[in-house]
Amino acid sequence: MSTLVEDNPAKHRFEILVDDALAGFTAYLPRGEVLLFSHTEVEPRFQNMGVGAALIRATLDQVRERGGRVVPQCPFMAAFIDRHPEYNDLVVARP
């Protein structure tokens, strides 16, 4: 299974492709260098396979590389950050 996570600025979301199929996305509202993440969705056929976690990890890594920050209003992303405190430095505010 090959995965790729890319920012889709036109749709304001990071998307994960699994074997070239759109498997999920995490939507954001840009606020300068801060991205407010509002919703994460994984296609039903890709659920319970670690796709959501892979999406969030790659998204946060890309935000870090750009020098950005996040507001994790999405419960899925907030829970991921709670389980992976190495990403706490990216968080601007908690909902």
Residues 6+ apart with CB under 8 A from 10: none
pLDDT along the chain (95 residues), means of 10: 94 97 97 95 96 98 97 97 98 71
In the chain the domains, ranked by start, together with CATH numbers, are 3-90 (3.40.630.30)
Using CA atoms, how far residue 64 sits from 31, 78, 90, 95, in Å, is: 15, 16, 7, 20
Q: What is the pLDDT of residue 12?
A: 98
Overall size of the chain counted in residues: 95
Closest alpha carbon to 3 in 44, 62, 46: 46
Helix (H, G, I), strand (E, B) or coil at 17: strand
pTM: 0.94
Q: What is the pLDDT of residue 52?
A: 97
Q: What is the pLDDT of residue 95?
A: 46
Q: Please provide the DSSP assignment of 25-63 as one string.
A: EEEEEEETTEEEEEEEEE-GGGTTTTHHHHHHHHHHHHH
